[in-house]
Amino acid sequence: MAREHALVLFGATGFTGGLTAEYLARTAPPDLRWALAGRSLAKLEAVRERLAHIDERHASMPLLVADSADPASLRAVAESTKVVITTVGPYLHRGEALVAACAAAGTDYVDLTGEAEFVDRMYLAHDKQARETGARLVHACGFDSIPHDLGAWYTVKQLPEGVPLRVNGYVRASGMPSGGTFSSALTIFSRLPAGARAAKERAAAEPGPSGRAVHVKPGRPHRAPGTGHWAVPLPTIDPEIVGRSAAASERYGPDFTYGHYAAVAHLPVLAGAAIGLGALFAAAQVPPARRGLSKLLAPGQGPSPERRARSWFTVRFVGEGGGERVETQVSGGDPGYDETAKMLAESALCLATDDLPETAGQVTTAAAMGDALVDRLQKAGIRFTTS
């Protein structure tokens, strides 16, 4: 069906939403029909004015007033466009109504969530309808989990076909959180039992790959090969996303194993991080403490351009199979914001404009976009290299 817009960005007035809007203003094709959406018209007008300084054509950009608490407004947004980007989180509290609207309208959807419980619950509630309408629901289109998902895909393609494969990913990064990311982390830490229940329900409902095996389990701490860094299992959403990509494609081989690790040069750094995360986890279990922490870094706040310019990430992959071994790397600048805005925007542009394999329902970036998105990100400055 013809849609008024090719792309709508919901949450454009937030910190990461604003960075995503600016990226699109600089790089989107001149003929792309896109719009901004959010709950405050005055704030949307301020963002539009900022974009007009980048390119005067954006001075007349359409603005759509919509609220995550108003399903009717979200349905109107979804029905007006081919693709929706949303940066409005925490997604567990504010995200489902938009997913539902996109699934019902046959509208493609991308977000930057790292909330595994949200992703599992959206699969259980909306995957079936999205498959029926043709909507592609693609979660985790930022640093969670594009470098890991597409990096594993890129590595697998360097290895022989039709044989058991093993890939380990080693993550190193430097950056500061925004208020939205901090709020999402508190939500995740406060809901671990609920998250475990959602994962169990999904595992019972989701069919596995036919005649193939996919293993994504926590490994053991070890010395990362080739670097000497300490490698510690990293319990993020990223390995789950890689596992779902592997389940969707025979290219990952008949028996695929993925391990996901943080790579740390010095043990004291690791010990300090563990203590800090432990304290944050403990505080997140107590509602008054959680409310107090949430005020330390409010949504809409984030690191300065100067701080982001000093930030970086690398994800190194070691792949083995069929008697061959390959090392690859995905790397870029500020992982949480500048590069996340880039990844999120390029994912939406890829869905809106590129010739892609037919997929529908809740799908991963590798399954939905694969090589097309790798190519886009390389052109945008994110490096995929083979040693």
What CATH number has the domain bearing residue 83? 3.40.50.720
Q: What are the residues whose beta carbons fall under 8 Å from the beta carbon of 231, sequence distance 6 or more? A: 168, 170, 219, 221, 222, 223, 224, 261, 262, 263, 264
* Counted domains in the chain: 2
Query: Considering only 7-21, 75-89, 165-179, which range has the smallest mean pLDDT?
Result: 165-179
Residue 293 has pLDDT above 60, yes or no: no
Give residue 272's pLDDT.
Answer: 57
Q: Do 369 and 276 share a domain, yes or no?
A: no
Give per-residue pLDDT as tens, 91-103: 999 999 999 999 9
What are the tens digits of pLDDT across the range 314-332? 999 999 999 999 999 999 9
The pairing of beta strand 222-223 with beta strand 213-216: unpaired
Q: Assign 3-state DSSP to the chain and report helix, strand, coil percentages, each to 5.
A: 50, 20, 30
> Looking at the whole model, is its pTM more than 0.95?
no
Query: Quick one: what percent of the chain has pLDDT higher than 70?
Result: 88
Domain finish residue from 291, 307, 332: 332
Q: Which residue has the higher pLDDT, 5 or 223?
A: 5
Query: What is the tens place of the pLDDT at every residue in 203-256?
Result: 999 999 999 999 998 888 888 888 888 899 988 899 999 999 999 999 999 999
Q: Are residue 153 and residue 278 in the same domain, yes or no?
A: yes
pLDDT digits (tens, 9 = 90+) for 21-44: 999 999 999 999 999 999 999 999
Say if residue 192 is in the same domain as residue 100. no
**Per-residue pLDDT band at 138 (split at 50, 70, 90):** very high
Coil/strand/helix, residue 386: strand
Among candidate residues 50, 21, 59, the one with its CA nearest the CA of residue 38: 21
DSSP secondary structure string for all residues of 155-206: HHTTS-SSS-EEEEEEEEEE----HHHHHHHHHHHHTHHHHHHHHHHHHHHS
Buried b (16+ CB within 10 A) or exposed e, 90-109: bbbebbbbbbbbbbbbbbbb
pLDDT at 238 (0 to 100): 95
Nearest partner of 235 among 296, 180, 185, 284, judged by Cα: 185
Give me the mean pLDDT over the 95-122 stretch.
97
- For residues 171 and 118, membership in a common domain is answered with no
Higher-confidence position of 282 and 371: 371
State whether 251 and 303 are in the same domain.
yes
pLDDT at residue number 371: 98
- 321 and 215 in a common domain: yes
Q: Among 316, 332, 348, give the residue marking a domain's end.
A: 332
What is the overall mean pLDDT for the chain?
Answer: 91
Alpha helices by DSSP H, listed for 315-359, are 338-353
Q: Structural domain of residue 92, as residue ranges?
A: 5-142+338-386
For every residue of 32-82, DSSP letters joined together read --EEEEES-HHHHHHHHHHHHHH-GGGGG--EEE--TT-HHHHHHHHHTEE
For 170-193, letters b (16+ CB in 10 Å) and e give: bbbbebbbbbbbbbbbbbbbbbee
pLDDT tens per residue across span 265-292: 866 555 555 555 555 556 666 666 556 6
Query: Exposure of 1 by Cβ count < 10 A (0-12 exposed, 13-18 middle, 19+ buried)?
Result: exposed
37 contacts 8 by C-beta, under 8 angstroms: yes
Choosing from 332, 360, 375, the residue where a domain stops is 332
Report the C-alpha gap between 226 and 111 in whole angstroms. Answer: 35
Q: Are residues 21 and 71 in the same domain?
A: yes
